[in-house]
Structure 1
Amino acid sequence: MHSTKHPIAIDEHIAAVNLTSFHYGVPGSGKKVYIQASLHADEVPAMLVAHVLRQELERLDAEGRIKGEVILVPVANPIGLGQVIHGAPFGRYDLATGTNFNRAYRHVAQDVMAGVAGQLGQDAAANVALIRQHARRSVASWEPGNPTATLKKTLLTMAIDADIMLDLHCDTEAVLHMYAGTPLVEAVLPLAALMEARVLLVATESGGEPFDEACGRLWWDLTRHYPDAAIPPACVAVTVELRGENDVNYDYARKDADALLRYLAHQGVLDIPVGDMPAYACAPTPLDAVEPLTAPHAGVLVLRKALGERVEAGEPIADIVNPVSGQVTPVAASRPGLLFACTAHRHLLRGMHVCKVAGTDSFRIGDLLSS
């Protein structure tokens, strides 16, 4: 095992910021795995899971039981981790630019398409190696204009050529759920089972260029562009939402870390028992079948359904109570589905986010992720 410090903010007379990565196994000896925690820096459960992962990976590395390479970034956003407004952590957006830390990553597909033109054939392994070479070159050519862009480039440099990329997040209040590319469903379902995910949200493109799609989407974009070439979806890129932001405890952290390690064993990266594969707790759900609900007017949010419950179309999920006028307005989904996430705030203004319901029938278009 070794660790690497990556300088992020280079204006030493103002502030110096470093990112730390931990490296296990031997590069080139098997699959490459990249795991990062808390890219949204105020999503703390992921950092505790990373702490447990680090302890286990150090032990497994010392015992020679890592059959490949694993990179772990336990704090993926040191910039956001230092942002506090009036005592409240503020780690989702960069205060300097207003940019979401999990948006606007470089999508390298166009560069790679140009670089590999006329060179792809029916040898899938050779195609993967060539595509990764050009993907690394494209990321290296990225010229960041500010510290946050430097952070994004540094993270993507480590992850762009990974076989497995796990981006650990959480929601405000939620059951455990996951995001992945539609072509990755078969590879991701075992992880969903091991994590006991209640929802697996899939899309070919969700909008906004999040980190997982910067790593994974280039493969099916290239397949679409070069339909006669053998191009597999060579990066299993998954965003794992580890319940809600206050679900920080050792029991959850150990359980989640154990599930992640068992998945890596299932993928041939770790020499540890996989154990019995649990039954799937969910089926893949199109991301464009998720219905976000908002407050119809200002008031107190009173939930009438618990997270993880199924709801019917028109069934009240919550009430918005105006304590001055006495107005009480139910909030209901227009389609049946599973209530899987909701806001942590209990007084809302008109138009603010209330909750999300995962249905089964696609109906949304445009950007599918929250801002």
Structure 2
Amino acid sequence: MTKEIQRINLDAGFPGTSRQITVHRYGTRGARPKIYIQAGLHAEEIPGMLTVAHLVRRLDDADSRGEILGEVVLVPFVNPLGAATWINGVLVGRNDLGGEGNFNRHWPSVAESVAAEARHRLGDDEAENLRLLRRILGRHADRLPDESEVQKIKKTAFQLAFDADVVIDVHCDRDAIIHAYTYESTWPHVADLCAQTACEAVFLEDGLESAGTSTDLFTGTWELVRNELGHLFPIPIGCQSVTLELRGQADVCDEFASADADALLKFLQRRRVVAGDPGPLPEPRCKATSLDATDLLVAPRGGIVTYKVPLGAQVSRGAVIAEIVDPSADDPLGSAIAIRTKTDGIVATRTLIRFVPRGEVIGKVVGAVRLRSGPLLER
């Protein structure tokens, strides 16, 4: 048995208050490949937490049979702070109520300082450059600030994952099909993960979004260092990071979680982190598309959202996806305003709360033609 359970204190900063992150480690530290998987960064997104809980059981069994070949680090519940943010009986774990904003934005950037430290130490050997940069990243992870709980959560995740070959940050949307976000530089290297988990949409970011997500730290650091120094030295993308969105917030059940855990285990087997035959790779359910080709459907006014097509529907440009009904109008049903898509594509997400303010994103249609520029992610 190689398993180690690690508990990391977040130091809540209030008398009588304590929170911790529980880490499940498998394999020998430093073994390759290394895979890091976390869930619950947005604490109201429960499907991933249950999925990783199921994966813990599967890896416990594999470990008991001596089947851990590389290193796996699992964090089923990375944000206990967010899970404590209840208002009027509603869990609002997406944003820090103390003022630090969205838990998956404003992750620290270390690329500039890493590049500066590495500039005069890199050479012509790509493998040695990879090892050097990982050592530098480890030092920078240890130097990150941790004065607040939010900072400590992000620092802890980086310390656990800075040298991982693959990072999987498991989320969900409000009401959605399975989909994923990754960098163009990591595609198609992570196509096996997306096919194995039955993703019906894959969004590719160009590395210039700078929203400060976990992907921007885990893969974006390598992207930026390579942009700075890649013309001088051979520098690989040392971490393939994927944000995996497991359906919607209400899709919490053992049946889904068990199937998703099976898929993740097969991915680990396929990457030879865990021994075993994963079987043939499923045919991909979609082509990857640029994030700027996604049509964000925005409510033109507040009201009741009524959808006219189901999730996963293939739609054509101009199709009515939803209507907004003003219940305060003299003729409420006659007030309905249609929301039409600007692209051919698949309906990937919808809002779960069907009463919205003006300007709220009520869905996404994934297309193939560029529609947007500038900031592409929702807040």
Q: Indicate if the aligned counterparts of 1:303 and 1:317 stay in contact, CA closer than 8 A.
A: yes
Find the aligned partners of 1:29 and 1:297 in 2 and give their Cα distance. Answer: 54
Is 2:270 the counterpart of 1:266?
Answer: yes
Find the aligned partners of 1:314 and 1:103 in 2 and give their Cα distance. Answer: 33
Aligned-residue offset at 1:98: 4.5
Find the aligned partners of 1:142 and 1:225 in 2 and give their Cα distance. Answer: 22
Q: Indicate if the aligned counterparts of 1:106 and 1:139 stay in contact, CA closer than 8 A.
A: no
Aligned-residue offset at 1:12: 5.0
Aligned counterpart, 1:211 = 214
Aligned-residue offset at 1:251: 1.3
* Matched AA of 1:213: D
* Matched AA of 2:33: K
TM-score normalised to structure 2 length: 0.95
Is 2:228 the counterpart of 1:225?
Answer: yes
* Matched AA of 1:247: D
Give the secondary structure class of the aligned counterpart of 2:57: helix
Aligned counterpart, 1:301 = 305
Aligned-residue offset at 1:11: 2.2
Q: Which shows bigger deviation, 225-234 or 239-248?
A: 225-234
* Matched AA of 1:225: E
Q: Indicate if the aligned counterparts of 1:207 and 1:366 stay in contact, CA closer than 8 A.
A: no
* Matched AA of 2:219: G
* Matched AA of 1:329: I
Match of 2:76 among 74, 77, 89: 74
TM-score normalised to structure 1 length: 0.97
Aligned-residue offset at 1:14: 4.5
Give the secondary structure class of the aligned counterpart of 2:105: coil
Is 2:257 the counterpart of 1:253?
Answer: yes
Aligned counterpart, 1:85 = 87
Give the secondary structure class of the aligned counterpart of 1:46: helix
Aligned counterpart, 1:311 = 315
Is 2:246 the counterpart of 1:238?
Answer: no
Is 2:129 the counterpart of 1:127?
Answer: yes
How many residue pairs match? The answer is 371
Following superposition of structure 1 onto structure 2, how do residues 343-354 of structure 1 map, counting pairs within 5 Å?
A: 343-354=351-362
Find the aligned partners of 1:98 and 1:153 in 2 and give their Cα distance. Answer: 14
Find the aligned partners of 1:136 and 1:351 in 2 and give their Cα distance. Answer: 41
Give the secondary structure class of the aligned counterpart of 1:48: helix
* Matched AA of 2:82: G
The sequence identity of aligned pairs, in percent, is 33
Aligned counterpart, 1:38 = 40
Structure 2: give runs of 5+ residues left out of the alignment: none
Aligned counterpart, 1:158 = 160
Find the aligned partners of 1:78 and 1:192 in 2 and give their Cα distance. Answer: 28
Aligned-residue offset at 1:247: 0.5
Find the aligned partners of 2:232 and 2:68 in 1 and give their Cα distance. Answer: 35
Following superposition of structure 1 onto structure 2, how do residues 313-352 of structure 1 map, counting pairs within 5 Å?
A: 313-323=317-327, 324-325=329-330, 326-352=334-360
Find the aligned partners of 1:280 and 1:228 in 2 and give their Cα distance. Answer: 37
Q: Deviations over 1:209-265 (max 9, x none)?
A: 101221111222222212232211121110100000011111111111111111111
Q: Which shows bigger deviation, 25-34 or 243-252?
A: 25-34
Match of 1:109 among 108, 111, 116: 111
Find the aligned partners of 1:123 and 1:181 in 2 and give their Cα distance. Answer: 24
* Matched AA of 2:342: S
Aligned counterpart, 1:54 = 56
Structure 1: give runs of 5+ residues left out of the alignment: none
Q: Indicate if the aligned counterparts of 1:40 and 1:80 stay in contact, CA closer than 8 A.
A: yes
Aligned-residue offset at 1:10: 4.3
* Matched AA of 1:334: K
Find the aligned partners of 2:158 and 2:369 in 1 and give their Cα distance. Answer: 33
Q: Which shows bigger deviation, 64-73 or 113-122?
A: 113-122
* Matched AA of 2:367: G
Find the aligned partners of 2:335 and 2:350 in 1 and give their Cα distance. Answer: 22
Find the aligned partners of 1:40 and 1:350 in 2 and give their Cα distance. Answer: 24
Give the secondary structure class of the aligned counterpart of 1:165: strand
Task: Compute the RMSD of aligned alpha carbons.
Answer: 1.3
Q: Indicate if the aligned counterparts of 1:302 and 1:318 stay in contact, CA closer than 8 A.
A: yes
Find the aligned partners of 2:286 and 2:46 in 1 and give their Cα distance. Answer: 25
Match of 2:294 among 273, 280, 290: 290
